[in-house]
Structures are given as C-alpha cells and as structure tokens.
Amino acid sequence: MKTTRNYTTYLILFNLLVFTGSVFIGRYPISVPDILSVVGHVFGPDVGESHQLIHTVIFKVRIPRILIAMVIGAGLGITGAVFQGVFKNPLVSPYILGVSSGGGFGAALAILLCNDAIWIQLSAFVFGMIAVALSLLTARLGFRLSTYTLVLAGVVVGSFFSALISLLKYVADTYTKLPAIVFWLMGSLASVNTRDMLFTAPLTLVCIGVLIMLRWRINILSLGSDQARELGLNTTVLYIVIITCSTMIASSIVAIAGIIGWVGLVVPHLCRMIVGADHTRLLPASALMGSAYMLIVDDVARAAVGQEIPLGIVTAVIGAPFFAYLLGSRRE
C-alpha cells in the first residue's frame, strides 16, 4: 500500500511538472518574469495593457489546451486499461467497439453538410455512441453476449463506418471539404477552446470517477464472466456500466480532438510494468500517466517544427516503437 501511494504521489508531481513546463512552450515566447507578473495581476482589477497579450495567450489559449490534453490523456489511459482487463486482450484499445470510426463518420458527415464546429462535435459524439450500440446489438444476434463476440462485432461495425468515411471522402470537394475531413481525422487540439473544455471535461471526469469506483469489480470481471457470476456480481449490469462510461469518454474525446490512437494501448502496458496488473492500482495510475503522456505529445506536436503536427501522427510515431520495445522486453 505504501508503494502504491508513493507511485501515485510521483505521478501527480510528474503531472504538475509537465503542466508547468507546457505553459512556456509555444510559438509566442513567454519568460518566467512575464508569467509571474501576469499571475500577480489575475485577481486585480486590471491586468495592464503591457501584459494583456501574455494574459490572453496563457489563460485563453495555453491553459485550456493543456487542461483538455490532460483530460483526454487520462480518459484514453483509463479506458484502455479497463477494456484490456475486461476483454482479457492486451491489444484492445478504447476504440475497439467502433467508437472512433463512428465518431469519424459523424464528424465527416457534418463537415460535408455544414462545416460548423458545434455540429461537428455533436455529430461525432452521437455517431460514436451509435457505433457502440450497433456493436452491442450485433454481438447479441444469435449469440450469447460475451467479450469475444463484442470484439468481433466491434471490428465489423468499425469496418462498416470506415467504409462510410471513405465514401464521404470520395464525394467531398477536393479543395475545401476533403482537406478538412482528412485533417480532423488525424486528430488535433489546435482549435480547442474553453467551451470545448467545458463540454468534455465534466463528462469525462465523471465517467473516470465511476470506473475508478468499480476498479475492484473489474478485477473480478477480468477473471471471466462465469467466475464473476459465481462470486455474486451482476455481470450484465456491470458490462453495461463499464462500456457506457468508456464509450462516453471515447466519444467525447473523438468529438473535440479527432481520432488519437496508441495512447490507450501503450499507457496501460507502461503502468503495468510500474504498479502491476491489479486494477485497484492500475486504473488511477493509467489516468495519471495518460494525462502526462498526452500533454507531452501535444507539446511535441505544437513545438517540434514550425507547423503544428497532427496528434495522430505523433502518437503513432512515439507509440509504435515504444510498444514494440515493451513486447520485446516481456518476451517471457
């Protein structure tokens, strides 16, 4: 228990360190004295004309983006850990039930029809939820609902919506609509604002809290449905709650940031190497590690080169070799 508390403390301190460093990263250079001067006037009647630009950059651009990156990372990290435990498959990601393809189709459809930010987010969220509902319905067709049929149904539904996305890209205008669809699908936080944070953060944090409260039940569920029922768990209700919370997290993330892969796959494996496979420790660690990891990735995306790199590219470039290293280091 003492070791677990130590790891949690270290991860919290690491998040605070990354948060502080991220405030200084960006195209507009800000020094430590500038930040201290602006923070000193936050509760005053006037920021001062000379510091107005710095105040705007920090509190209206960087901090909302930093916070939403941390929320997204925490959501993807904990959802990946939950799904890998529930489905007993180390290659499962938060998008296994088709939420990314469904959300991507919803966003592409909204871009094609109206290209309004609110409708894009709403459409992506709704179709992400629809995709998971279709996966659940497909898994029930003629079969007893199980983790194996759920995974297979998710693959089917995901492929179906991926085909629809390809169809929309084929009919989209080459000069206006198609580039917007492609860029959105690669994932980015370039256009997020305070409104996006208020839309995503409360829902994601509530669902994360529910999953953490269920972490000891997820331990039992990872043994298998039959064993969990013999131990007195209502597995049907538990599956519904877990999948609903995880889907709402993933859908809200896809709605504002696009499709960001590899985070929910790599982070849980890294946390297992640190705290073990017990979900009572793994889920909080995955949330904390995911938030710091996502923030570092976003810092790289917006500061590595002159033009911002889509997050999906950065997470794949970092995540794929790192995951290969994890596989190689655990051959036994």
Look at residue 143 in the predicted model and tell me its pLDDT: 60
Q: Tens of pLDDT along 260-296?
A: 989 999 999 999 988 988 899 999 999 999 999 999 9
pTM for this predicted structure: 0.91
Containing structural domain, residue 31: 2-329
92-101, 103-112, 215-224, 248-257, range with the lowest pLDDT? 215-224
* SS3 of residue 145 by DSSP: coil
- The mean pLDDT value for 132-158 works out to 83
Question: Is residue 25's pLDDT more than 70?
Answer: yes
Q: How confident is the model at residue 111 (pLDDT cuts 50, 70, 90)?
A: very high
Q: Which residue is listed with tokens 């036994």?
A: 332
Q: How confident is the model at residue 300 (pLDDT cuts 50, 70, 90)?
A: very high
Look at residue 45 in the predicted model and tell me its pLDDT: 47
- The mean pLDDT value for 148-169 works out to 92
Give every CB contact of residue 86 below 8 A, 6+ residues apart in sequence. Answer: 147, 218, 221, 222, 239, 242
Burial string for 299-332 (b: 16+ CB within 10 Å, else e) reads: bbbbeeeeebbbbbebbbebbeeebeebeeeeee
- The mean pLDDT value for 136-162 works out to 84
CA distance 8 to 291: 13
Question: Is residue 180's pLDDT more than 60?
Answer: yes
Look at residue 8 in the predicted model and tell me its pLDDT: 84
Question: Is residue 310's pLDDT more than 50?
Answer: yes
Q: How confident is the model at residue 331 (pLDDT cuts 50, 70, 90)?
A: low
Question: Is residue 92's pLDDT more than 90?
Answer: no
Look at residue 284 in the predicted model and tell me its pLDDT: 94
Q: Tens of pLDDT along 72-89?
A: 999 999 999 999 988 888
CB count within 10 Å of CB 160 equals: 16
Question: Is residue 42's pLDDT more than 60?
Answer: no
Question: Is residue 206's pLDDT more than 50?
Answer: yes
Please give the residue that has the higher pLDDT: either 301 or 197: 301
Structure tokens at 236: 């049907």
CA distance 209 to 246: 11
- The mean pLDDT value for 35-42 works out to 66
Q: How confident is the model at residue 242 (pLDDT cuts 50, 70, 90)?
A: very high
- Do the Cβ atoms of 102 and 130 come closer than 8 Å? yes
Percent of the chain with pLDDT strictly greater than 70: 92
CA distance 166 to 291: 31
Q: How many domains does the chain have?
A: 1
CATH number of domain containing 305: 1.10.3470.10
Alpha-helical regions (H) of the chain: 2-23, 32-40, 52-56, 63-86, 99-113, 117-140, 147-171, 177-185, 194-213, 215-221, 225-230, 235-257, 263-275, 279-303, 311-329
- Do the Cβ atoms of 219 and 278 come closer than 8 Å? yes
